[in-house]
Amino acid sequence: MQHQDDCPPALIGRWLLEAGCVVDIRRPYDGGLPLPLDLADHEALLVLGGSMGANDDESHPWLASAKELVRVAAAERKPVLGICLGHQLAAVALGGTVEVNPAGRQFGVLPLGWTERASGDPLLGSLPGDVIHWNNDVVTRVPPGAVVLAHAPDGSVQAARFAGTVWGVQAHPEVDEAIVARWAEDDRDHIGPELVDRRLAEMVAAGSALEAAWRPVAAAFAGLL
């Protein structure tokens, strides 16, 4: 599930193809194929990021359908991975809360603050060390029964298992150099040119290591099907 042009599946889409998956990309924002009403013809759900908020159903009407699909997948015990906005949508769909991060924007390469519960997790048990963040909102209350798997340096929820087969990561393991360069250009004036350029250089320098760390997560997701 893609929410805007500059937030494609990118690396994680490629890794899933390498793992033997068939990737059906739905872009409900551009008048293409709509989201399915259920997951009868799909084995899993990948919900990508976007600049809109998880509660912006009125201005982005497909978000309500996105959250319903998360609930359907959870009920049918089909694997779900939410990335950034997708992580937030999964949390809200299952009874959690998403708000603007009181600690401010998360931006750049950040370490993963894994909890003890993350060890042995079927999706995130490889415990990658770092990841790219680019977000203003965070999950401030997880759904009932959820397990927090990682905290960001500011203490916010960085990764969680929201239900038996539903995971979310607040970060962007899927992005490549071209995507972050595009985002950096869009946010240059808002964030400040010097900070944008410095963080962008850090993200580009870490690219190979980040790919090596997160490719096993995509393989684990494919292995759940």
CATH number at residue 89: 3.40.50.880
| 7 catalytic per annotation | no
| 84 catalytic per annotation | yes
- Average pLDDT for the chain: 95
User: Is residue 185 very low, low, confident or very high in pLDDT (cuts 50, 70, 90)?
Assistant: confident
Give the active site residue among 3, 87, 133, 174. 174
| Entry pTM | 0.96
Give the active site residue among 3, 60, 84, 133. 84
| 21 catalytic per annotation | no
| More confident call, 105 vs 151 | 151
Is 163 contained in some domain?
A: yes
Closest-CA residue to 108 (of 210, 221, 219, 220): 210
Is 26 contained in some domain?
A: yes
Give the active site residue among 172, 177, 185, 202. 172
Is 217 contained in some domain?
A: yes
Closest-CA residue to 121 (of 31, 220, 187, 48): 220
Is 219 contained in some domain?
A: yes
Sequence-distant (≥ 6) Cβ neighbours of residue 19 within 8 angstroms: 218, 219, 222, 223
Is 2 contained in some domain?
A: no
Q: Residue 55 is part of which domain span?
A: 10-175+210-223
Is 169 contained in some domain?
A: yes
Is 65 contained in some domain?
A: yes
Q: How many domains does the chain have?
A: 1
Q: What percent of the chain has pLDDT over 70?
A: 100
Contact 171, 133 (CB under 8 A): yes
